[in-house]
């Protein structure tokens, strides 16, 4: 159920002060993904990529986790910290990758390939996690894949671009589920090449959810935290960024003298690379969520325990990868 934001007049309220007050009152921690609006990133207790946020959610001693991200991220927090109240400002904040992988179809696919293990991207529902063997994020995928014996057959879902990238890099066949991120899918190769021609010698950093025709032009490929670190290591003063543009806020904070240019979409100037799901979270909805402790994540306990198994495998196998942005160049 969504927070009834439209029905309340919050005008005149100092939202930042109210959020801080409620956070104390509730003993809440605010976790935010790099794709959130700048004002939300700035008030969060921690901003990170999917793996870092999972770890924080597992470790926090707060009573309430206010998750400013999308639903699969808040569900992950609940799976790892079931005794805590987990709120998501807008329950409609989904993900095209999750939508592309309905649990029933995924289960049937697994049953059709009993000799394969399921290595599954964290961008999926709790049900799909429970049907999987090991979860990966973009910053842990490579470390985890390198620990799986070469003869072991693998189903990789739901992101066929991340799966394809890993498959090419590791020279390893995997059965790929046909999901895509609508945001990274929208980058235009033609427009990127025009931009590169205007900025000769400027490097490109890309998220592995990008299709291969974008990855092929990247100097660095990695998770959001990996891209952020790369932005701090380039020797030049400009970087082209092929991922959701709200991450540029953190880059500009870390490197105020450098210039970060968002990679273009199809008409060279569209807002199609802003994640429409992440954008649903607002200050107003965060305030209401903290005030009412709604909308809240609830999970069936059998599903939660199944999903926890595959997430715990990830956390064990990925130990040491946090913040390294370890995918590196293709």
CB of 200 to ligand SF4, least distance (A): 29
**Nearer Cβ to ligand SF4 (73/154):** 73
- Closer to ligand SF4 by CB, 52 or 209: give it: 209
Supply the minimum distance, in Å, between the C-beta of residue 184 and ligand SF4.
Answer: 6
Provide the minimum distance between the beta carbon of 73 and ligand 13P in the complex, in angstroms, as a whole number: 8
Residues pairing with 117 in the sheet = 154
Q: How far is the CB of 181 from ligand SF4 (least distance, A)?
A: 3
Residues of this chain that interact with ligand 13P (CB under 6 A) are: 49-50, 123, 137-139, 181, 207, 209, 223-224
Tokens matching residue 308: 């926890």
Q: What is the smallest separation between the CB atom of 248 and ligand 13P, expressed in angstroms?
A: 14
Token pair belonging to 210: 């990008």
Q: Which helix (H) or strand (E) holds 182?
A: helix 182-185
Q: Choose among ligand 13P, ligand SF4, none what residue 277 binds, the Cβ cut-off being 5 to 8 Å by kind.
A: ligand SF4
The tokens of 32 are what?
């935010």
Residues that bind ligand SF4 in the complex, under the rule CB under 6 A: 35, 70, 95-97, 123, 181-183, 209, 244, 275, 277-278
Q: Where are the beta strands (DSSP E) in 96-146?
A: 116-121, 134-136
Distance, CA of 204 to CA of 210 (rounded, Å): 12
3-state secondary structure of 150: coil
Q: Which does 239 bind (CB under 5 to 8 A by kind): ligand SF4, ligand 13P, none?
A: none
Cβ proximity to ligand 13P: between 120 and 139 the closer is 139
Torsion, Cα 284 91 132 301, to 10 degrees, reads 110
The option from ligand SF4, ligand 13P, none interacting with 182 (CB < 5 to 8 A, set by class) reads ligand SF4
- 3-class SS at 50? helix
Indicate the residue among 176 and 275 with the shorter CB distance to ligand SF4.
275
In sequence order, the 6+-apart residues with CB closer than 8 A to the CB of 292 are: 3
Q: In the complex, what is the shortest distance from the CB of residue 162 to ligand 13P, in angstroms, rounded to a whole number?
A: 9
Residue among 130 and 183 whose Cβ is closer to ligand SF4:
183
Closer to ligand 13P by Cβ: residue 288 or 314: 314
Q: Are 67 and 87 in contact (CB under 8 A)?
A: yes
Residue 223 binds which entry of ligand 13P, ligand SF4, none, with Cβ cut-offs from 5 to 8 Å by kind? Answer: ligand 13P
Cα–Cα distance measured from residue 192 to residue 242, given in angstroms and rounded to the nearest whole number:
9
Give the end-to-end CA distance of the chain in Å, rounded to a whole number.
41
Helix, strand or coil, per DSSP, at residue 205 = strand
Distance separating alpha carbons of residues 98 and 86, to the nearest angstrom? 19
Residue 278 interaction partner, one of ligand SF4, ligand 13P, none, beta carbon < 5-8 Å per kind = ligand SF4
137 vs 290, beta carbon nearer ligand 13P: 137
Strand partners, 220: 205
> What DSSP assignment string belongs to 188-215?
-HHHHHHHHHHSTT--EEE-TTS-HHHH
54 neighbors 259 (Cβ within 8 angstroms): no
CB of 120 to ligand 13P, least distance (A): 14
């Amino acid at each position: 159920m969504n927070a009834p934001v439209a029905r309340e007049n919050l005008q005149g309220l100092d939202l930042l002060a109210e959020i801080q007050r409620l956070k104390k009152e509730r003993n809440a921690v605010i976790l935010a993904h790099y794709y959130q609006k700048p004002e939300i990133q700035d008030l969060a207790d921690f901003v990170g990529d999917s793996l870092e946020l999972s770890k924080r959610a597992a470790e926090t001693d707060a009573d309430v986790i206010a998750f400013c991200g999308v639903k699969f991220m808040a569900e992950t927090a609940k799976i790892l910290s079931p005794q805590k109240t987990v709120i998501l400002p807008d329950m409609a904040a989904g993900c095209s990758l999750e939508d592309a992988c309905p649990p029933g179809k995924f289960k049937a696919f697994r049953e059709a390939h009993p000799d394969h293990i399921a290595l599954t991207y964290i961008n999926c529902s709790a049900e799909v996690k429970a049907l999987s063997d090991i979860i990966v994020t973009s910053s842990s995928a490579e470390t985890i894949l390198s620990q799986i014996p070469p003869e072991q057959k693998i189903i990789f879902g739901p992101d066929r671009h991340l799966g394809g990238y890993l498959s090419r890099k590791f020279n390893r066949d995997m059965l790929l589920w046909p999901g895509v991120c609508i945001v990274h899918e929208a980058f235009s190769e033609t427009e990127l090449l025009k931009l590169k021609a205007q900025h000769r010698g400027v490097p490109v950093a890309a998220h592995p959810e990008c299709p291969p025709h974008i990855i092929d032009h990247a100097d660095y490929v990695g998770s959001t935290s990996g891209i952020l670190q790369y932005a701090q290591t380039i020797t030049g003063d400009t970087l082209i960024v092929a991922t959701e543009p709200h991450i540029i806020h953190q880059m500009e904070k870390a490197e105020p003298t450098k210039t970060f240019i968002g990679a273009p979409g199809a008409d060279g100037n569209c807002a199609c690379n802003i994640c429409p799901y992440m954008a649903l979270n607002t200050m107003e909805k965060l305030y209401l969520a903290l005030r009412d402790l709604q909308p809240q994540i609830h999970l069936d306990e059998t599903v939660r325990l199944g999903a926890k198994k595959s997430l715990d495998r990830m956390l064990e196998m990925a130990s040491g990868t946090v913040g390294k942005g370890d995918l590196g160049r293709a």
